[in-house]
Structure 1
Amino acid sequence: MDDIEYIEVGKGDLPRLLDAPADLFDNPVIPEEAEAFLADPANVIVLAMEGGRAVAFASGTFLRHPDKPVSLFINEVGTLEGHRRRGHASAVTRRLFEIARERGAEGVWLGTEMENAPARALYRSLGGVEQISALYGWDEAFGP
């Protein structure tokens, strides 16, 4: 594997997110949102850094509920186009698993689109059990 460092990004690491390549995330990083994400201890993000540049990431949010143990919801996993198929997505996701265990989570889960074959293959390779569910969204109804 390349000379990559996998790091958990914390409150003082906002510049790392702001300096991330524009195509690493789905959308450009919004400084205020990135700062709020890093400030909230329920959130976690791991970056794969190569030469001081983020090339992959996985982020998650710890969830609590009155009748369930803590779990980690993986928000997103992403890798720059030129760095795919090198094990970076697996490594950042495994690091999220380690962090979840360290923080007492008893489960990890996520959702992805049925047509996202690469993501589904990644999650199966990490031991994930595919469960079919309905997913609902209200993004349009909540517009700006």
Structure 2
Amino acid sequence: MTDIGTIEVVEVTTENQSLMHVVADDLFDAPVQSNLLQSYLAEETHWLVAALLDGVVIGKATAMVHRRPDKEDELYLDEIDVIPELRRKGIAKMILKKVLEMAEDWGCEECWLGTEKDNIPARKLYESNGAKPEDFVLYYLEY
């Protein structure tokens, strides 16, 4: 069993982006590309949070501050993930805590996100942090 006390959760920035050179398999949909990483991190409202174990990124979250002309900033939490063999050990909760701390420091009024109905571990994670599920319809526009 992994000691989650040895896991470090950090915000990845342009200054420490080299942390992303060693990423566990199955964490991202495809290999991290340096040019895309640099472009993503160049936007101050795009956040990447990584969980590291022995120098290897084993968990991550991507999020974006959503700015609007009529309301205060809010956070859109795009994705939290941990490699399959380390799931259900509290790592995602540590990542979420870091993201929400960053959102509070930024001044975001709320955080919104979505997950599949059958993703029970994700739903439990969010609900354990006070989230309430909403009914809504999701559309994908292809072009």
- Do Structure 1 and Structure 2 share a fold, with TM-score over 0.5? yes
User: Percent of aligned pairs with the same residue?
Assistant: 32
Aligned residue in 2 for 1:34? 37
Counterpart amino acid of residue 118 in structure 1: P
Deviation at 1:18, TM superposition (A): 3.6
- Tell me if 1:82 matches 2:93: no
Structure 2 counterpart SS, 1:49? strand
Give structure 2 stretches of 5+ with no counterpart: none
Separation in 1 of the partners of 2:52 and 2:30? 19
- Counterpart of 2:9 (choices 3, 6, 11) is 6
Aligned residue in 2 for 1:17? 20
CA RMSD of aligned residues (A): 1.3
Counterpart amino acid of residue 59 in structure 2: A
- Counterpart of 1:104 (choices 84, 103, 107) is 107
Deviation at 1:29, TM superposition (A): 1.8
Separation in 1 of the partners of 2:51 and 2:117? 26
Deviation at 1:137, TM superposition (A): 1.2
Separation in 1 of the partners of 2:139 and 2:16? 33
Equivalent residue runs for 1:133-144 within 5 Å: 133-138=136-141, 141-142=142-143
Deviation at 1:24, TM superposition (A): 0.8
Counterpart amino acid of residue 6 in structure 1: V
Structure 2 counterpart SS, 1:65? coil
Give structure 1 stretches of 5+ with no counterpart: none
Given the two structures, how large is their TM-score scaled by the length of structure 1? 0.91
Given the two structures, how large is their TM-score scaled by the length of structure 2? 0.91
Counterpart amino acid of residue 67 in structure 1: D
- Tell me if 1:124 matches 2:131: no
- Tell me if 1:59 matches 2:62: yes
Please say if residues 59 and 91 of structure 2, whose CA atoms lie closer than 8 Å, have aligned partners that are also in contact.
yes
